[in-house]
Structures are given as structure tokens and as C-alpha cells.
Amino acid sequence: MRVLVTGGAGFIGSHIVEFYSNRGDEVVALDSLERGEMLRREEYGIQSNWEYLRSLKNVTPVKGDIRDFEKLKDVAAGCEVIFHAAAQVAVTSSVTDPVLDFEINAKGTINVLEASRLHDASVVFTSTNKAYGENVNKIPVTEKEKRYEYADPKYNRGIPEEFPIDLTGHSPYGCSKLSADLYVQDYAHTYGLKTGVFRQSCIYGERQFGVEDQGWVAWFVIATLSNRPITIYGDGKQVRDVLYVKDLVTAFDAFLNSHLRHEVFNTGGGPKNTLSLLELLDILEEFTRTRPRISFSSWRPADQKVYVSDISKMFRLLHWKPLVGPQAGVKKLVEFFRKKSTS
């Protein structure tokens, strides 16, 4: 088939492109490359990922912005599926410039949906657990030595898709992604598109050139290997379920190959694959024999002390489960960045 991947040079996008290229499908990878320009640091890899895409078979890289509907409409022509992974991804940036955040995440998604409707393409949308905002922090937690855990046994399997999204703070980023999330759902109900919304927890893996305010697993690896200081916002005991990126892409493909016309999935490693920031530092010390310099700062807006996805619906409907655990996945990431630093 022919697929379009928005944000194709990004972390998740590049893995989607790679997966379908390896399978022999025709892939169009659309990316504005703005993230690299905003970071102004080549080491963070947007150009590196772009060049990697050029090396893959059956891949057409196209520089373009999802805010440009005419461009988007043209590149979507003939595509059976659009994977929508392009986004403004940082909470801190959304607080600084909420208008730009909205234009990319909300308006850009409307453009993707209209292009999908025009060409009758299915849509897979990379949403976020930030859709639930600070409501998650209303769940009582227990403080352990190096992590927080949910104190309410109701959430032993994690946060379900029915968890409330109203009457809480989200951050501008959370608002723009939630708005996009709801529009993707409504295009299924109103126009009959096949759409999958994946509310992602912490996704990590190779080609994730993380920075301080986004992609924390990769950022901790990069900082540790390059002897840079790390600032922890909060106390470091905050917990996320972590999901290796290649497992994420197989979930997308399972949805596309299912009979489902529309679904929303909380997507992560689930209760068996969780890490706190402090625990990740311990794993990295085990692999690298290095402990970076750590400082602590205030909690960030709408940060969640614990977020763990209830992935039981994905298991039930998609017959999917994570295959790569945190120890193995982090080791792969360390090896990737070690190789990158010597190439």
C-alpha cells in the first residue's frame, strides 16, 4: 500500500517509515524539519534522521508543513493511510507560545483530517496521556524510596480510556493535543473514516534525540554519555510506563489490520514496564558506569506524579502486548548513542 507519515523525520515518524519501507510498501515522509531549526543543534538529529530516510527503499522524503493544506493535500493523494505524528511536542514551548502550539497541533490535525477525508484514507494519530491533564494527580499516591505508586487499587492496571478529561488543567500542549484527539474521533463518527487514537505514555528508542523538556529517557542517556548535567523537575520519583518504539509501531499496524473502524487506546508499557527518573539513572549507571551531575528544580505545569497506561483494551482488541522491557530497551538506546558518537 501507499502510506503518508507526517513528522516522518521525527523519532516516532522515522520508525513508522522504516517499518513500512521494510515491508515493501510505498512511503511518503513529510516533515517541515522545523524542530531541528528551533533547537539549532545538529546533534539532536532531525537532519540525521532525514538522511536516514533517504537511504531506505520505497521512501519519498518531502519537506513540507502540515499547516500548508495545499501541500498536504497533494502529498496525501493516493495514500491509503496517514500516520499523523507531526506535532509541537514540548509542554514548556507550549507555555511560551500557545498560539504556535495550537496552530501546529490543532489546526495542523484538521488539515490532516481534511486531506484524509478528501482521499478516503485511514488515520492513525499519535495522541498523548496529557489528554487527562492534572486529573491524574487526584489519584492518591504512595511515596516509596525511589518512586511514587498509585495508592488506589482501582488503578492497579493503570489509567483506563474512560478516565475523565474535564475540570482540570492540561497545559496548552495538553489542550491542543486533546483538541486534535477529539477531532480525530469525530471524523470517524461524522464522516466514517477509519481512525485510531493512541494516547501515548513514554515512548523511547533509537533516533529519539531527546532534550531537557521532551524525550526524557533519551535525554538522560545523551547527558550521561556526554557528561552533561541533568536537571530533574520535581523529586525524580515520578513514574511513567515506558514503551519501546518498535512495539508502538506494531500496535499501529495491528489496528490497521483489525476490523475496528475507530478506537481510542491508552498506549504504553503498562504496569509491567514502569520507570521513575531515579530508577532510570540507576539503570544507566549499571550500563555506563557513570552517574551524571544532578540538580533539582520546581515541578513543571500539569506534570503527573504517576502515569501508567491500562493497556488491557489493546491486548483484548488488538492481541498486542509489549515485547521489549525497560532494561533491554534502554540498553539498545545506550548502544545506539555510543555508536552515533563514534561514527
Annotated catalytic residue: which of 132, 148, 173, 244? 173
C-alpha cell belonging to residue 36: 531541528
End-to-end CA distance of the chain: give it in Å, rounded: 34
- Alpha helices by DSSP H, 108-256: 108-119, 171-191, 216-225, 245-256
Helices and strands, number each (H, E), in the chain: 13, 15
The question of whether 173 is a catalytic residue gets the answer yes
Residues 6+ apart with CB under 8 A from 235: 296
Please, what's the largest Cα pairwise distance for the chain? 55
Reduce the DSSP state of residue 306 to 3 states and report it.
strand
> Active-site positions?
173
